[in-house]
Amino acid sequence: MQRDVTSHLSLTVRSAATLVLEVAVARSHAPDEALAVTLDGAPVPVRELDGPLGTRLHVVDAGPGALVVDYRATVHGTGAVAPGDGEADRLWSTRPSRYCESDALGPTARAEFAGLAGVDLLAAVSSWVGTRLAYVPGSSQPTDGAVRTLLARQGVCRDYAHLVVALLRALDVPARVVAVYAPGLAPMDFHAVAEAWVDGAWRVVDATTLAPRPSLVRVATGRDASDTAFLSVHRGVAVLDAVSVTAVADVLPDDDVRTLVSIA
């Protein structure tokens, strides 16, 4: 399978800022790629850093002006070796985090999913979250966590992923959030899914069912959205004016919630 992805960001930098981008495909995909950043039309130096769990950070120091980020990548194949398969990674992925308050959702998780394990548990959690939330763009705030999402009964992909992760962690199943490019997604955007450690590997759970999981391309992996944001602004002020994302595959595979799927 070949996947071609692009992202375009336009920002107005109002005061000198350090920008951290997480838009590049994870190195485990071995992408053919290019990243260009310009300020008022002139190229800007970019520093690449290795973040946790294979996430690649691109750091830009920019003065005031119009900043444009363009990224494109081509990925071949559907490798299934996800980063972070050590015991420490799994233990870290069972702890509550800022947006995945698994400690608060323990009673709910145990009441709804008692006695389930493996693929049965993943399918049940995916279906439960998918049927209890309504996908409503703009319905949630950037600071909303899993508990607030469950109470509101609506959200977007990151909210679905946070709730899935929190419920699984509450049952002592290692789980984390992954930012991805998602061929087949409509409307097209950056996408967020959950991953859970089941049967000796990280398995994708996407309660939105908006894109086939085998086509996903990993970008960033972390505890929750605080680790996987496509843009973070530090020590300055920058306003995001526009974002556009494309992700296409030469073949869009079938998907079944009861099938265990891993991505590289």
pLDDT tens-digit profile of 137-187?
999 999 999 999 999 999 999 999 999 999 999 999 999 999 999 999 999
CA 156 from centre of chain = 12
pTM comes to 0.95
Question: Using an 8 Å Cβ cutoff, are 85 and 48 in contact?
Answer: no
Average pLDDT over residues 25-50: 95
| pLDDT of 226 strictly over 70 | yes
Which CATH number is associated with domain 2-77+231-248?
2.60.40.2250
Q: How far is CA 211 from CA 106, 157, 166, 225, 253, in A?
A: 29, 11, 22, 19, 10
Name the pairing type of β-strands 2-15 and 47-50.
Answer: unpaired
Kindly give, in sequence order, each residue whose CB lies less than 8 Å from that of residue 86, ignoring residues fewer than 6 positions away.
Answer: none
Could you give the residue ranges of the DSSP H alpha helices within 116-205? 118-132, 146-152, 157-170
Predicted confidence at residue 28, as pLDDT, reads 85
| pLDDT of 27 strictly over 80 | yes
Which CATH number is associated with domain 87-226?
3.10.620.30
The rounded mean pLDDT for the chain is: 96
Predicted confidence at residue 80, as pLDDT, reads 63
Predicted confidence at residue 79, as pLDDT, reads 64
Residue 2 has a CB neighbour count (10 Å cut-off) of: 12
pLDDT grade for 232, boundaries at 50, 70 and 90: very high
According to DSSP, the residues that pair with 36 across neighbouring strands are 70
Q: Where are the domains of the chain?
A: 2-77+231-248, 87-226
Name the pairing type of β-strands 237-249 and 42-43.
Answer: unpaired
pLDDT tens-digit profile of 40-83?
999 999 999 999 999 999 999 999 999 999 999 999 987 667 88
| pLDDT of 223 strictly over 70 | yes
